[in-house]
């Protein structure tokens, strides 16, 4: 059985003038122990998808319109508030993009880690404090610093604290929303290495949100490429990386420098993503696509399976007809 199975998840934000279609009919699955990379540019709906899983969408204006999110066979979207809270932080936990603001400035980091342990593990405050110090040690921070406040830590150290909070109850699924984007490049590798090691140690599944294909290649077992609220290409790491089929995926690979190939210049994808409040009919990528034809906007594109463990949302992908 899959650990997480998202089916037809659709999330919208109702603004005064218009409705923002942030996530449209997204299907994803994560097997136990697996790491799924969710890749896409800013505004593609990655973060909204992640928050949707934990039902952390600000309502109003946001709303989960339809879909199912099965976690260990139970639909999270149908759970009561109390059931959902029992899952958050215990079975599924989340790491946020910006460690600078993710920690409460007026509580010590020890308190913030112990809080989640005390809440879910039914242990005494003293035991929770003890375990929070162990967590600090695990993420490479001296346990004596448990009594200090977030502002006394650097960005990389804060992200370690956030990771300690997320992993404190040994969750089955860790959702990491661009965990290293806000950090210095040198710190990024450290934090990622540590996350990988801890994930393997605790046998945690992970949904890793990123726009860095290099990170995906190093970390993930499977990849989903997201564009304008939709999954446009989805499959195992090898299939997608060795045989990318969607023009957008191809574009993403074309816009990163490579050490092995000599190219005149990088080829960025021209144009911009459509406004999520005014999505075009048919293929959402049509405007920027080099291979587009009239048929692209006639019908809604569906995900087609082009080989085992590899689906693409493009009518031309099936026959390999580029």
Partner 1 sequence: MLYIIKRLIMVIPIMIGVVIIVFTLTYFAPGDPVSVALGEGYTQEEYDAQAEFMGLDKTYIEQLASYLMHLITKLDLGKSYFSNIPIESELMSRFPVSAMLGLFGIVLTVLIGIPLGIFSAIKQYTVLDYGLTALALVMAAIPGFVLAILCIVLFGVRLRWLPIMGLETPRHWILPIATSAFPGIAAMMRMTRTTMLEVIRQDYITTARSKGLKENAIIVKHALKNCLIPLVTIIGGSMAMVLAGSIISENIFSIRGIGTYMYGGISSRDYPVVMAGVLVMAFVVCVVNLLVDILYAFVDPRIKTIYGIRKNKRKKPAVMPGAESEVV
Residues found near partner 1 in the complex (CB under 8 A):
51, 54, 56, 58, 60, 85-90, 93-94, 96, 98, 101-108, 115-116, 119-120, 137, 140-142, 144-145, 147-149, 151-152, 154, 156-157, 162, 165, 184, 186-187, 190
The residue among 102 and 216 lying less far from partner 1, judged by its C-beta, is 102
Smallest distance, partner 1 to C-beta of residue 54, A: 6
- Smallest gap, in angstroms, from Cβ of residue 127 to partner 1? 17
Helices (H), 11-138: 46-53, 81-87, 99-102, 109-121, 125-138
Identity of the residue, 116 or 269, whose beta carbon is nearer to partner 1 in the bound complex? 116
The tokens describing 136, both together, are: 């600090």
- For β-strands 62-71 and 35-39, DSSP reports them as unpaired
Minimum CB distance to partner 1, residue 263 (Å): 34
Task: State both tokens at 163.
Answer: 């990771």
| Residue 41 beta carbon to partner 1: minimum distance, rounded to whole angstroms | 21
Q: By C-alpha distance, which of 163, 2, 35, 17 is closest to 95?
A: 163
Measured between alpha carbons, how far is 5 from 217 in angstroms, rounded to an integer? Answer: 23
Q: Which is nearer to partner 1, 94 or 195 (CB)?
A: 94
Query: CB of residue 123 vs partner 1: minimum separation in angstroms?
Result: 15
| Minimum distance of partner 1 from residue 165's CB (angstroms) | 7
- Which residue, 59, 60, 29, 62, is CA-closest to 45? 62
Complete edge-to-edge strand list for the sheet that includes strand 35-39? 92-95, 173-177, 205-210, 35-39, 222-227, 230-236, 310-312, 304-307
* CB closer to partner 1, 64 vs 162: 162
Q: Count CB-CB contacts under 10 A for residue 86.
A: 14
Q: Which is nearer to partner 1, 127 or 148 (CB)?
A: 148
Task: Tally the residues of the chain.
Answer: 322
Of the pair 82, 263, the CB lying nearest partner 1 is at: 82
């Amino acid at each position: 059985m899959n650990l997480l199975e998202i089916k037809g998840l659709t999330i919208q934000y109702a603004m005064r003038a218009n409705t923002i279609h942030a996530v449209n009919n997204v299907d994803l699955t994560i097997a136990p122990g697996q790491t799924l990379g969710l890749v896409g540019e800013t505004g593609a709906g990655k973060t909204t998808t992640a928050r949707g899983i934990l039902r952390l969408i600000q309502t109003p204006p946001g709303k989960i319109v339809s879909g199912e999110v099965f976690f260990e066979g139970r639909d999270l979207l149908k759970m009561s508030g109390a059931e959902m809270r029992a899952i958050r932080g215990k079975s599924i936990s989340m790491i946020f993009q910006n460690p600078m603001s993710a920690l409460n400035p007026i509580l010590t980091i020890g308190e913030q880690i112990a809080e989640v342990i005390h809440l879910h593990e039914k242990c005494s405050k003293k035991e929770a404090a003890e375990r929070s110090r162990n967590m600090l040690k695990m993420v490479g921070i001296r346990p004596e610093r448990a009594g200090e406040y977030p502002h006394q830590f650097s960005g990389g150290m804060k992200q370690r604290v956030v990771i300690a909070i997320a992993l404190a109850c040994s969750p089955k699924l860790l959702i990491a929303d661009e965990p290293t984007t806000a950090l210095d490049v040198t710190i990024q590798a450290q934090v990622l290495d540590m996350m990988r090691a801890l994930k393997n140690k605790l046998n945690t599944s992970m949904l890793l949100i990123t726009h860095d294909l290099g990170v995906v290649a190093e970390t993930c077992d499977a990849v989903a490429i997201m564009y304008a609220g939709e999954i446009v290409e989805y499959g195992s790491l090898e299939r997608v990386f060795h045989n990318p089929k969607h023009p957008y995926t191809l574009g993403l690979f074309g816009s990163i420098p490579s050490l092995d190939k000599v190219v005149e210049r990088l080829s960025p994808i021209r144009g911009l993503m459509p406004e999520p409040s005014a999505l075009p009919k048919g293929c959402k990528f049509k405007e920027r696509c080099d291979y587009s034809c009239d048929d692209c906007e006639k019908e809604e594109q569906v995900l087609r399976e082009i080989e085992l463990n590899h689906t693409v949302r493009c009518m031309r992908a099936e026959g390999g007809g580029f």
